[in-house]
Amino acid sequence: MKSSRYEITVRGRLTDTMLTAFDGLHASPAAADTVLRGEIVDQAALFGVLERIESLGLELLDVRRGPAR
């Protein structure tokens, strides 16, 4: 299974502290939200990220797969 690029949007702007939880992903603001972008190695890792979002009480807005490399 090849890794893919993902773009995950959560509500609100994340500070550095919270960003530490998303090692390997790059965060950029988008209006009042934050988009996390990066290579995610497989489905298990993807669900791991989603679980992280859930455990931090963040609101998940969007999950999108970017163009494959």
Partner 1 sequence: MAVRTARHATATANRHASVPQPPVMGLVERPRLFDLLDREAGPPVTLIAAPAGSGKSTLLASWLRYTDSEVCVAWVGVPSDETDATRFWATVMDALRGSGAIPGDDPLATLTPAPIGGDDEFAQRLVDGLGRLDQPVCLVIDDLHQLRSEDALRGVQSLLDALPPLLRIILVSRHDPKLALHRLRLAGGLLEIRAADLEFTGAEATELIAAAGVELDAHAVRQLRERTEGWAAGLRLAAMSLSRHAEPERFVDEFAGSERTVADYLFAEVLASQSPEVRDLLLRTSILERVNGPLADLLTGRRDGARLLSDLETANALVVATDVARSWFRYHHLLSDLLRLELQREAADEVPDLHRRAARWLADHDQPVDAIRHAKLGDDWVLAADLLSRYWIRLMLDGEEATLAALLDGFPAELVEADAELTTMTAVDRLFQSRWVEADTLLAAARRSIDAMPSARRRRARTALATVQLFRARQLGDIETVVDDASLLLEGDVDDGAGVDAELQALAHMNLGIVSTWTFRVAEAESHLEQGLALGRSIGRPYVEVGCLIALGVLANLTMRPDLCEERLREAIGIADRVGWSTHSMMGPAYMNLGSVLIDRGALSDGERWLDQADVIMAKSLEPAAGVGLSHIHGQLHLCRRQYADALSYFRDAERMASQLRAPHFLAEVERPWQLRARLRLGEIEAVRDALTSARETAAWCNVAAMLCLEEQDAQGAADAVAPVLAGEVFALHVNLVIEALLLDGIARRALSDDDAAESSVERALELAEPHGRVWIFLTVPGVRELLEAQPVHRTAHAAHLTTLLDQLAGSEPAAYREAVDQPHEALSERELAVLRFLSTNLTAGEIGKELYLSVHTVKTHMRKLYAKLDVHTRAEAVQRGRSLGLLAPARRSS
Distance separating alpha carbons of residues 38 and 27, to the nearest angstrom: 9
Among 1-9, 17-25, 37-45, 61-69, the segment contacting partner 1 (CB under 8 A): 17-25
DSSP 22: G
Least distance in angstroms from the C-beta of 12 to partner 1 = 3
Q: Are 38 and 25 in contact (CB under 8 A)?
A: yes
- 64, amino acid identity: R
Stretch that binds partner 1, among 1-9, 18-26, 39-47, 61-69 (CB under 8 A): 18-26
Q: Which residues here bind partner 1, judged by CB under 8 A?
A: 10-18, 20-21, 29, 32, 54-59
